[in-house]
Each structure stands twice: as structure tokens, then as C-alpha cells.
């Protein structure tokens, strides 16, 4: 067991230093839960529009809920995807007078059990298992970059935190090739379930800047590294630039995916002030790569600005000052009246 672990950690170090993303297989996540979730996703999107609108993201100061097609921007261009954002189970600790960022964690909006029997319980079970996977995996990442296994736990201490997940549908459409544009995830790490086996479309940039197809492989997660991890490890771990191409016009089905973002850091953590002391031999490996080519992903603004900029309708309703700062000319066209 010890030998397997150290072999795995060595492989992980090689991936971090030389590649930039990976597939993870043989995880303890229950395969039966994954199959049931995959089977129910089309029913989630097939709910009557009115039921989806009842839980729309604009209701939620926590940026959780349903977004219809074309409501989200990456790099200023519209992403052609429909999605539900859910958090791990959480209550809001925000009180009037607290800084606005304290309102970012809170309860999710789910369809009722009459509307979609069993879905909420199934999805929450899935999230609990993903959280365990992510927590264990982040310890291995720490070891891989020469830190004690618990080095990153200092960012995840408080009881009331929320990790984010999405369930996404990329419909077949002819407007644009952009499913979601090139971007980094802001969190530490992302575990992506590609929920329709037949669909290619996910691509990631390796550390040489080449776009690599990342097709679905059964019983695996794609692991992307996030911008926060890049900051705190002094760039030893490079955030993974990735994008999704919309399903081609001759596809018979949409593409579905379920990213789980290990995003729930303590609210008072300031990532750019939380740089970790990295071992010299690891910094040497980082520097040995030379200057990495820049990626096509958008630059990383402060996290709250990031989500508010992606979801102007939520910002306008719940964060009016931030909205005026981000959109001085008012609501961008795609985000109107929803």
C-alpha cells in the first residue's frame, strides 16, 4: 500500500510538472450512483421550462440554480450551454452589514421530489462522495509537490463552506462552436464527470500550449488544476486552460457533463496572500520547465468578480454596486430580462 502510494505520488508529480491535467480511474466513488446520475440528467433538463425557471440562478445571491441557454459569458462571448449550479449542503451565515463576499455560500435550489423523484438525494450522495475524493486527492497533490499531506487543509477549516458543482447540457446548435470558451477554473482542483460517453468536445492545453482532445473514458474523472492552486504553489502546479466545443451538427444527442469544483475555501482566505513555502527541489523542477507559453484562457479576476461577470443577471439583482462596476453600460444583451 505504501509502495503504491509513493508510486502514485511520483506519477502525479510528473503530471503536474510536465503535463498539466489527468484522468483519474479506480476511485472509490460508487459506480452505481454515477450511472443513476447519468441516467437522470436528461430528465433534469427535460423538466418543463416553468419548473426550471422557478429555480433560476437570478433568485439566488449565492449564484446557485438554473441558467438557460446563452446566459453565461466566457471571454465576452456567449457560452452555448444550459446548466444547473448546485453547492454542497450549506446554510448562509450572511447577516446584513457583513462584507458581500460572505453571501457567496448558501443553500442550493433543487427541483422538488414530485418534479424529479429521487434526484436531490442521489445528487447529494454523489456530492458527498466527490467531496471525500477531492479531500483525499488534494492530500496526494500536496505530497506530490513536496509539502506535508495536510498543507492545503489550512484553507478549509470552517464548518460552513460550500463546494460548487454544475450539471451542464451542451445542445447541438449551429450558432457557434463555443460550448464554453477557454478558461481556468478558479478553485484548487476540479473533478469532471463526462456524462455522455459518445461526445468528444472537451479540450485542454498542455504545458507546451498545445490543445489536446480529452475524450470521455468510462469510469474516469478528468482532473483539472485551478487557479488558486497555481497561486498558492508558486506556479508549481499550473492552472489547466480548457474549453468545450459544442457538439457537431450531425450529433443526435446533446453533451452532458458534471464538474465538481473543490472551491469551498474559508471565506476569509485571500489566495494571493496565501503563498506556500515550496521545497527548493520542487522549485527547481518548476524552473526547469523554462518559461511556459501563455494559454488562451481568460485572465483570472478576483473570484466574486469572476462569477458576477459571468452571471450579470445575478449581479444586477443581488450585488448592484459590483454590477455597476463590471457593466458600466448596463446589462449585456444576452443577460436581459430573465
Ligand X SMILES: O=C(O)CCC(=O)C(=O)O
Residues that bind Fe ion (CB under 5 A): 185
Using the minimum distance from each CB to ligand X, give the nearer residue, 29 or 202.
202
Q: Which of the listed partners (ligand X, Fe ion, none) does 244 bind, with a CB threshold of 5 to 8 Å by partner kind?
A: ligand X
Residue nearer to ligand X on the CB measure, 94 or 261: 261
- Does 68 engage in binding with ligand X (CB under 6 A)? no
Q: Are 169 and 82 in contact (CB under 8 A)?
A: yes
Measure the CA–CA gap between 261 and 87, rounded to whole angstroms.
9
For ligand X, which residue of 65, 87, 111, 259 counts as binding (CB under 6 A)? 259
Residue 224 CB, shortest distance to ligand X, in Å, is 7
Residue choice 116, 152, 192, 207 for contact with ligand X (CB under 6 A): 192
On whether the CB atoms of residues 111 and 121 are closer than 8 A, the answer is: no
**Identified binder of ligand X from the candidate list 185, 230, 313, 316, rule CB under 6 A:** 185
- Which is nearer to Fe ion, 21 or 94 (by Cβ)? 21
Site string for ligand X, 37-56 (x = CB under 6 A): --------------------
Q: Which is nearer to Fe ion, 12 or 239 (CB)?
A: 239
Q: Is 311 in the site for ligand X (CB under 6 A)?
A: no
Bridge-partner residues for 183, per DSSP? 242
Quote the least distance from Cβ 261 to Fe ion, whole Å. Answer: 8
54 Cβ neighbours under 8 A, 6+ residues apart? none
Q: Is 244 in the site for ligand X (CB under 6 A)?
A: yes
CB of 201 to ligand X, least distance (A): 7
- H or E stretch at 281: helix 280-288
Q: Which is nearer to ligand X, 168 or 265 (CB)?
A: 168
Report whether 208 contacts 293 (CB < 8 A): yes
Close Cβ partners of 20 (under 8 Å, ≥ 6 residues apart): 204, 205, 206, 207, 225, 238, 240
Sign, CA torsion 271/190/73/181:
positive
Please identify, using beta-carbon distances, which residue of 127 and 244 lies nearer to ligand X: 244
Q: Binding to ligand X by residue 168, rule CB under 6 A?
A: yes
Task: Choose which of 202, 204, 232, 265 interacts with ligand X (CB under 6 A).
Answer: 202
Q: How many CA atoms lie within 13 A of 240 on its CB side?
A: 29
CB 215 within 8 A of CB 258: no
**Other Cβ atoms within 10 Å of 331 Cβ, number:** 14
Q: How far is CA 180 from CA 14, 82, 194, 296, in A?
A: 28, 11, 14, 13
Smallest separation (angstroms) from ligand X to the CB of 328: 27
Nearest CB to ligand X, comparing residues 192 and 271:
192
Cα distance between residue 144 and residue 141, in whole Å? 5
Q: Which residues bind ligand X (CB under 6 A)?
A: 166, 168, 180, 185, 192, 202, 242, 244, 257, 259
Amino acid at each position: 500500500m505504501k509502495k503504491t502510494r509513493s508510486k502514485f505520488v511520483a506519477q502525479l508529480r510528473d503530471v503536474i510538472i510536465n503535463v498539466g491535467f489527468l484522468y483519474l480511474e479506480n476511485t472509490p466513488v460508487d459506480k452505481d450512483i454515477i450511472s443513476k446520475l447519468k441516467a437522470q440528467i436528461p430528465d433534469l433538463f427535460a423538466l418543463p421550462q416553468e419548473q426550471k425557471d422557478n429555480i433560476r440562478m437570478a433568485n439566488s445571491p449565492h449564484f446557485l440554480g438554473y441558467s438557460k441557454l446563452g446566459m453565461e459569458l466566457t471571454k465576452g462571448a456567449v457560452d452555448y450551454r444550459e446548466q444547473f449550479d448546485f453547492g454542497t449542503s450549506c446554510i448562509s451565515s450572511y447577516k446584513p452589514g457583513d462584507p458581500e463576499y460572505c453571501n457567496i455560500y448558501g443553500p442550493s435550489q433543487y427541483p422538488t421530489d414530485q418534479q424529479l423523484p429521487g434526484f436531490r438525494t442521489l445528487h447529494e450522495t454523489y456530492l458527498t462522495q466527490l467531496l471525500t475524493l477531492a479531500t483525499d486527492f488534494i492530500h496526494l497533490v500536496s505530497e506530490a509537490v513536496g509539502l506535508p499531506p495536510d498543507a492545503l487543509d489550512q484553507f478549509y477549516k470552517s464548518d460552513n463552506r460550500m463546494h460548487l458543482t454544475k450539471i451542464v447540457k451542451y445542445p447541438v446548435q449551429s450558432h457557434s462552436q463555443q460550448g464554453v470558451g477557454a478558461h481556468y477554473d478558479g478553485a484548487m482542483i476540479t473533478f469532471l464527470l463526462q456524462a455522455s460517453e459518445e461526445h468528444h468536445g472537451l479540450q485542454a492545453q498542455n504545458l507546451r500550449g498545445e490543445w489536446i482532445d480529452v475524450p470521455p473514458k468510462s469510469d474516469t474523472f478528468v482532473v483539472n488544476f485551478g487557479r488558486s492552486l497555481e497561486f498558492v504553489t508558486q506556479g508549481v502546479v499550473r492552472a489547466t486552460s480548457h474549453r468545450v466545443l459544442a457538439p457537431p451538427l450531425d450529433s443526435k444527442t446533446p453533451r452532458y457533463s458534471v464538474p465538481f469544483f473543490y472551491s469551498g475555501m474559508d471565506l476569509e482566505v485571500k489566495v494571493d496572500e496565501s503563498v506556500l513555502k515550496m521545497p527548493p527541489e520542487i522549485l527547481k523542477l518548476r524552473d526547469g520547465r523554462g518559461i511556459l507559453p501563455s494559454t488562451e484562457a481568460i485572465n483570472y479576476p478576483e473570484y466574486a468578480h469572476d462569477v458576477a461577470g459571468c452571471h450579470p443577471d445575478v449581479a444586477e439583482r443581488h450585488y448592484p454596486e459590483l454590477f455597476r462596476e463590471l457593466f458600466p453600460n448596463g446589462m449585456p444583451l444576452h443577460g436581459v430580462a430573465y
